[in-house]
Structures are given as structure tokens and as C-alpha cells.
Structure 1
Amino acid sequence: MILVQKSIIAYQYVLARKTGGKFLLRIEDTDSTRFVPDSVDDLISSLSWTGLSFDEGPGKDESLGPFYQSERTKIYKEHVDKLINDGNAYRCFCTSERLQQIRDKAQQSGKGVAYDRHCFYLSQKEIDQKISEGTPFTVRLKTPEGVVTVNDLVYGIVEFNDKHIDDTILLKSDGYPTYHLANVIDDYLMRITHVLRGEEWLSSTPKHIILYKLFGWELPKFAHLPLLLNPDKTKLSKRLGNVKIKNFAEKGYLPETLINFVALLGWSPANSNKDIFTMEELISEFTIEHIGRSGSVVMIDKLDWLNKQHLLRKTKSKDGLKEIVNLLKTSVNETFGERLKSTKDEYRLEDEYLSNVIMTIKDRIRNVKEIPKLCEYFFVDPDYSSQDSRSLRKIISDDTLKSISNLILRKLSDLKIDESEFQIDNIKSIIQSIILQTGYKQREVMMSLRYIITGIKVGAGVAETMKTIGIETCLRRINKILESIDD
């Protein structure tokens, strides 16, 4: 599953839930050249992670199945035979070399590539002979004359002249159907009422409408969604578009974020500038009528911003915070687990401590996965030899750092007698008293303390950080700085 597909699947799911319909999962696996091992398992896993649970599909209710198109070839052949018998389709024995000659000739003349119906005029005797000789063949649709009108829920009425509709292949030489045939038959037999897909399929829709009419079937409602674009307004590149959903999960994006993000790629609420949506809110407010016709720019900055908003939302509830803690626990274990286990700092892998870290840093991060990398001082002592740390140290004089370290050490040591007094307000009072006592500017004091406690220039509030990592850790880091200055 890729990002482009995810935006369409999200709309399909929301529409199904909004209308009281069913959300089906069908595996289109009739193109062996595009087969990817484990892709179905990845797809189902991705749907599960995002919360887009299907009602019918592989491994679930299969009353409308089978849901693998490769297992439905008999159904397709029966329908193709009917089209052939009715004179609405024909076998094509043309070799790939002849078809390439047709394409080359069309390009030289500046005309669109269209099959010349050479095999449509074969006699039954010629057809029977080629079949008896084992000559490979495809089956093509005989496009009827006239204009085909598409009534699209996004683009409105679009007309296509038969001169621009090729005799498309319905059945390939390997016996498998093309998308055009399989999806029309499956959509009808599986009672699909709405076909939502990318704008690039709009030009193929006349072929599908022709097939529906030839079979005497009622048309579904079609909605073609606009292209996704890069920031420079070019079509979304494969570099970004082919990012698998599991990659977003591995990078720390929340499922709510991704669904929210892709829902806004082309759709906007009717009477609101609202950007943050839960699944329930999307289902309630979504309408196809408010899908735009112009391409939507995929902005990763917007994805990051949405992730931050959903993260902040989750921290406001017990269950939501627990979910974030579990995500952070996995990352911290991967990064620092071996260093912390079986040490006095192992408590930093526990839920209570991780919860405190999240609440301390939540306003400054966009992604839980950032915490171990950007805020490692919550889990291990700062690396004062790092480039960031050395850069900060250069702007703090030895005298200033030593004076502030000694003062904060003495004041915190007094608090250690009663650790219950090690609270944010008391820590802030101590910092303020140091500023008043020394005459140092507030920036000098805060910068020195941030260096001692975190080793880097930016982060959450100093007092809040000190409270979270604990008084013992603060005292140890202060002593370490004093030792380095004395040395």
C-alpha cells in the first residue's frame, strides 16, 4: 500500500461508514509482473494499524468472494464468452511485433495509438484454425460508436467520443483479465455502489460504462479524485508516493494523523477551517461534494504538525497517554535498553517515568520517535563531548559555570533532606535566587543550567526537566561538571 492509495482507501472507508454500507477488501492479483511477496499481509496489517477494518474480504466474511481476483478467472471467462458470442468482443491474435508497428506508425502520423481491428475481420474459419494451432490471443472489447457520457461526482459531466476509446484488451493471453474487465464484473457482483479512484482512471471510465451497458447492469456512482502533487506542483514523485504505511508507523506517526492527513488531500469540510479530525468526526462531516478538482500538494510539514496535534490530544486522556507511553517505551528500549537494564537507572524504562518525560516535552516535539534522539538526556547522562554540547560550552565562561554549579549544588543538597520539596515551583525559586544572589543575567544562569542538565541548547523548561530526571541525577551531573572544571 502506498500513500496515494491510502488517500483513496480512507475516503472509501469513511463513505462506507457514513452511508451505512460495507467496506470490502479485494485483492487485485492478476498481474504477475507486479506481484510482490507478502504484499497482502502488509496490506491487511496496514489497514489494521490505521483502524480501517474491512467488513468482508480475505479471512473474513467471504459470502461475496472469493476476494482474490486470481481465484475468479472462471467468472471472467464466462462473461467474456458472452461478449464474444454477442459480437461485442473478439479474439486478437496479433503479435507484439505487429502491435509495436501500429504504435510506431501512429506516433509518426501524430495520431493517438489505436488498434486497427485487424483481427475483428478474421473469418470464423481463420479463428478456429489459429485456436487449433495454439496461437496465443487476447480478447478485445469492440467499442461501439457514439459518445459515452461519464457523470462523475467530482468532475461532473464528461463526454468521450468513440474515436478516443480504443478496443481495449479485456482478457490477456495468459487467461487473466485486465483491470477494465475484472473490476467491472467484480464491482457488480460484489454490489459496489460507489467507485472512488484516482483522476488518472477517468479516461478509462467510458470503457467500463460500455461494459456495464453491454451486460445490462446498473451503473455505480463514479468519483475520481485529483492528483497528489509535490510542493513544486509536479505529480507526486515515486520517492514520496511509494512510502509504505508501515514506514510511517516506524517513523512514529500516529494512525489518526495519517488518516487525518490523507483525508485533507483533496477534501475540506463544508463550513469550517478545521484541520484536526478524529475518525468519528471524519465520518460525520465527509461528503464527496467537497472533494476539490485541483491537485493537492503533499506537505510533510503539515503531516508533522497534525501528528503533534494528535499527540497533544492523546496526552489529555489516560488511555491516550498510555498509548503514547507504549510507543515511547519501544523506542527507548531499542535505543537505550541495554545500557539501562540491570542498573540503578532501569526505572527510566518504566511507564511512570516515561509518562513524566512525555508530559514534560510534549509541547516541543512532533513525534514520539524524536524523544530518544533529541532528548536522550532523559535516559542517559549528556555527552558533553558532542558538537552541540561543545558549541554551548564555548559561550559559558569557567567562572560563571563553576559559580552557578556550586550554588545550585548547595541549594539542591539542602532539598535532598526532604525530596518531597523537589518540585517545579521550588526549583524555579532556587533558580531565581541564584540570579538575584550572583547578579548574573537570567540568560546566563538558564544557559549554564541547561548545559549542566541536558548538554544541549534547546529543550523543555529547565525546572521541568530537572524535576523529571530527579534530584539524584541532577546532583550527579552537577558534580560531574564541577570535576571537569577543576581538571
Structure 2
Amino acid sequence: MLFTARLWISRSNRIAVHSISTSSKLYRSHTLHFAARRWHHTPVRVRFAPSPTGQLHLGGLRTALFNYLLAKKTGGQFILRIEDTDQTRYVEGAVEKLVSALSWAGITYDEGPGCGGPHAPYYQSERTDLYRKFANDLIENGHAYRCFCTPERLQKVRESRHKTGRTVAYDKHCSYLSDEEIEEQLSQGKTFTVRLKVPSEGSTEFKDLVYGQIHFNNKTIEDTILLKSDGYPTYHLANVVDDHLMGITHVLRGEEWIASTPKHLLLYKALGWSSPHFAHLPLLLNADRTKLSKRTGDVHVEQYIAKGYLPEAVINFAALLSWHMKSEEEIYTIDQLIQAFDLADLNNSGAVVDIAKLDWFNKHHLLRRAETAEGLKSLVDMLVPSVHSQFGSILKDRDQAYRGDMAYLTRVVETIKDRIRNIQDIPRLCSYFFVDPDYTTAAAKTFKKKLKAPAIQLVFSPETQQQLSTVEPFDGATIKQFLHETAEKQNVNPNHVMMAMRYAVTGTQVGAGVADTMAVLGRQTCIDRITTAKAHQV
């Protein structure tokens, strides 16, 4: 039985898939699984083709990642192409930021800006002569036509057709012009666009590697503009021409481009070319299942970088948005993702972006990094700028400067790594490693109220402070043993004493074991803070 998912594209381009019988679902699963599996034995050529209009969106990173994984899995090539033909939306420096974000994420391209390749240039604005040539070819073979309609007429047509409930905004007016009428318009110097001539009968359909068989009635397809009046191509023409000339075998892109795919297929056919295979990726969603938007949180890769997320965590997180592997394992390196990637495991359900899940991934990858000397150093390198930014004025003090040194920060990271999710948690939640606690805050006062009187009295006693000054070596294990023995001698619960000491030296409940924290802070700092905390008991 042939499975066909008919997608009805509304004016808002939202997609609703009709209900599917169980048998049809099974057919789709087996068919797409087989189709996807075949390409793992043949090197593919794929591309990521963003517009330089700003920062790299999380959805864009996922698209680039899936293309990259497929290329590496099959021993193929991954190409970066910049679609910059819409000069009104061009943002200065956007390409450099894009390349930097991909590099940070570990996604390298085989051809593209900066590294060249056999199909250069990789900026579409430098390929306009090609697009004009193919636009003229389409006019010559009757698959496209010049449109001389003014913006005012087009607006009136849109309004009129909208009132009558028609989904196609243009009325094909200029497709009916005679050769004489066209020549007259040209002789008068009238500007024109070039439109695709969509067949008025029949249908266009294709098998999407994610959504299955998709069918479009040609009557619902617009005679889309291929070449604008300024001579620059639209996405539709440039995309098809470049994908063909660059030998792209598979197009992995966002779900929002499904509505454009029949136009592209008609262009391939009109130009006498074979089309690539298509796999459209579902939308990324907010928790309320609305489309992911910057109004509801972080959506750009640069925001995740600024907040201290590790690239391997962001990649791991992005990879599992709409891709579900058969393994129950969730933590993957980029090499493991390449090994496991399979188009058949992509699904067509919108993926909710859960930042708590990203935090979970980040914690796991942070601990992985900290297992090696090189990885630990990289974490400290990430910590240095934020520490100096937040505590720079304090670190200028000669007696406090050591707290900004690599050796001290390394001990901080080693001590607190099991208790944090993000390296930026250290200056934000554990400021006591760099500045003396503020015992007057509401949080500190609330913490103090939880302490048991015998425990706080023992910590503040002169005898305890005097004995603390003689503990050798001043490391976590020895300090812990000292505090436990002191508590037991005075018949006080050791856990209560540890809590009281945490208050005295940090002023907060957040942190690693108190004995290990004291070892990092140093003997004199701990004694000084106990004295200060005691003064706040009055």
C-alpha cells in the first residue's frame, strides 16, 4: 500500500498532517528506514546555506549539525554556502560570527568561505551572472516569464484574491502577454521580475525522508518570483542552481521549507536536472509548544557561548532534538554522534527546547572534561574572564591577587565541579572563593537561623579557632577529621558542626564539602572569617 501524507499549506505556512492508519505508519517506517539506510553506504554531498542576517540560531546549528553528521558518516562532503542575495537583510560581520560559532561547535566544512573548493565562489552575491543565465534559459524554454506588474497592482491583486479566499496571491496576468506586448514593455524600459510558470493542472509530489510522501496540487502553487527587478535571484532560483552545480545529493533543512519544495522540484524539471533527496527537520518549540522565539529565551548559539555552556554539551543537546537513537544512552561526543547518526531515526514531531535538559548535558560534559589535565585547564581558561570581570577590583589588592591565579582557580574548579552545572555558576553562586561573605544578607540570616546553638558555639569558641591554627596538613581530609573529633569530644552532632562551619567560612549553603572548601580558602582566611561571622552574632 502506498503511503501518502497530504500536507495542506495554509497562508501562515503551518503544516497539518492528516490522520494516518497504523498500517500506513508501519509502511512509512519501513520504507523510510530502508531509504535512509541506503545512503549510509554512498558518500553524500550536503550543504548548510544560511543567510548572513544575524547570529546563528539553535535551529540553524541543528541543521548544520545533521548535515555534518551525515557527511562524516558516509565519508562525503559538507559545504558551507552563504545565501546573501537579499542585500537589504545583510548584517555586517554576520558571516564571520557564523563561521566562528560553527568552529566553536566543532563543525568544520570541506568547502566554503575561507577554505575555497572546486565550486567557488560560495557567496551567492558573487554568482549572480549564473542565475541570470538560467533565468533567461527558463524564459527561452517557456518555463518562466517576465512580469511587469507594478507593486501597486500586485497589492490590489493580493487584496482581491484574499477577499475571495484564494490561496495563490498572483493572478498570472503577465504570463498571458504576447511577444509584441512584452517587446513594447521592454522598449519602454519597464522593470520586470522573472516568474516561474507553474503548470495549471496536475500535481507535484516527492518522498521526504522525514515526512514521507508529500503531495501538492499545482493549482495551489504560486508563480513565484525567480529573479527580482534588481537582477538578484530569489532563494528559490539560487538554491536550485547552486545545489545542482555543487552536486548536492541530500538537502536537510527546516520544516518551513516544505511549502517551497514543489517550486524547487518544478525548477529542477524545467532545467532538465535530477533533484536531490529532501529531509525536512521539524520545528524547535517552546515549552508551550509554540515556535521557538527569542522573546521566550535564548535561541542563538552566541548566547549559549556567553553563558558558559560547553560546545560538546550544546552539540549533544541539539543532536537529540528530533533525533532519537535506539540506544538509551544520551551522553555523546561528536565522534560518537557521527558513528550513531542515521536518517531513519529522525522523526517529524516538533522538538521542545528544554534548557534544564541542556544544563543536565552541560554538567555531564563538564565532569568529563575535568577528568583530564588538558580538559581541566580548558575549564579554568573559561572561568578566568568572568572572575576578573566580576572581582577585578578586589583582585588588584596584592593580598587577594592570588585568587585570580590559574593555580588557585584550578583548585576551585576541582573542588566544586561535582556541584555545578556550568562553569559560570562558580562566580555567580560561589563568590565566597573570591570575596568575604556578607553575613547581613537575607539568605545568610535565614541560613544562620537553621544552625543549632551548640554547634555554632563550638565553631566560634576560642579553643576551636586556636586548634584550627595548628591543623596539619591543612587539607580536606585532615580538616574533616579535626571537625568530627572536636564535635564528638564536646558531644555535639558532627553534621551540625559542619553546617555551622560552612556558615562561618562561606555565608551560604551552596557549595562543595565544607572541609574541602576550607582547604582551598586557606587557614588564615578561614580563621579571619570565623572571627567576622562571630561578630555578627551580637
Superposed pair shares fold, TM > 0.5: yes
| 2:64 alignment counterpart | 9
Which of these residues, 236, 240, 259, is aligned with residue 315 of structure 2? 259
TM-score normalized by the length of structure 2: 0.86
Answer whether contact 2:116 2:122 (CA < 8 A) is retained: no
Instruction: Give the counterpart letter for 1:356 in structure 2.
Output: R
| 1:70 alignment counterpart | 125
Answer whether contact 1:266 1:296 (CA < 8 A) is retained: yes
Instruction: Give the counterpart letter for 2:319 in structure 1.
Output: A
Shift, 1:41, TM fit: 1.1
- Deviations along 1:389-430, one digit per CA (max 9) or x if unpaired, are 222234447775343222431221122xxx4x2222221122
Answer whether contact 1:3 1:241 (CA < 8 A) is retained: no
Which of these residues, 82, 90, 109, is aligned with residue 54 of structure 1? 109
Task: Name the CA shift for 1:242/1:468 in 2 (closer, same or farther; >3 Å).
Answer: closer
> Would you say 1:164 and 2:214 are equivalent positions?
no
Answer whether contact 2:331 2:361 (CA < 8 A) is retained: yes
- Deviations along 1:164-221, one digit per CA (max 9) or x if unpaired, are 1111111111111111100000111111111011111112111111111111112111
| 1:362 alignment counterpart | 417
| 1:213 alignment counterpart | 269
Answer whether contact 2:121 2:127 (CA < 8 A) is retained: yes
1:355 match: secondary structure: helix
- Deviations along 1:227-246, one digit per CA (max 9) or x if unpaired, are 11111112222425773212
TM-score normalized by the length of structure 1: 0.95
> Would you say 1:44 and 2:96 are equivalent positions?
no
> Would you say 1:425 and 2:481 are equivalent positions?
no
Q: Which moved more, 1:231-240 or 1:288-297?
A: 231-240
Alpha-carbon distance in 1 for matches of 2:172, 2:451: 83
| 2:352 alignment counterpart | 297
Q: Which moved more, 1:272-281 or 1:142-151?
A: 142-151
- For structure 1, the 5+ residue unaligned runs are none
Alpha-carbon distance in 1 for matches of 2:283, 2:519: 49
Which of these residues, 185, 190, 202, is aligned with residue 241 of structure 2? 185
2:207 match: secondary structure: strand
| 1:115 alignment counterpart | 170
1:414 match: secondary structure: coil
Q: Which moved more, 1:161-170 or 1:470-479?
A: 470-479
Which of these residues, 285, 293, 298, is aligned with residue 229 of structure 1? 285
Shift, 1:483, TM fit: 4.2
Task: Name the CA shift for 1:484/1:165 in 2 (closer, same or farther; >3 Å).
Answer: closer
Alpha-carbon distance in 2 for matches of 1:441, 1:464: 19
Instruction: Give the counterpart letter for 1:218 in structure 2.
Output: S
- Deviations along 1:75-132, one digit per CA (max 9) or x if unpaired, are 0000000000001100011112222222222222222124221101111222122122
Alpha-carbon distance in 2 for matches of 1:358, 1:13: 33
Which of these residues, 236, 243, 257, is aligned with residue 201 of structure 1? 257
- For structure 2, the 5+ residue unaligned runs are 1-55
| 1:476 alignment counterpart | 528
Answer whether contact 1:2 1:242 (CA < 8 A) is retained: no
Task: Name the CA shift for 1:242/1:369 in 2 (closer, same or farther; >3 Å).
Answer: closer
Instruction: Give the counterpart letter for 1:454 in structure 2.
Output: T
Task: Name the CA shift for 1:99/1:242 in 2 (closer, same or farther; >3 Å).
Answer: farther
2:195 match: secondary structure: strand
2:79 match: secondary structure: coil
Alpha-carbon distance in 2 for matches of 1:109, 1:355: 69
Alpha-carbon distance in 1 for matches of 2:358, 2:494: 36
> Would you say 1:333 and 2:388 are equivalent positions?
yes
Q: Which moved more, 1:274-283 or 1:137-146?
A: 137-146
> Would you say 1:132 and 2:218 are equivalent positions?
no
| 1:147 alignment counterpart | 203
2:290 match: secondary structure: coil
> Would you say 1:463 and 2:515 are equivalent positions?
yes
Q: Write the mapping of 1:377-392 to structure 2, written as runs, cut at 5 A.
A: 377-392=432-447
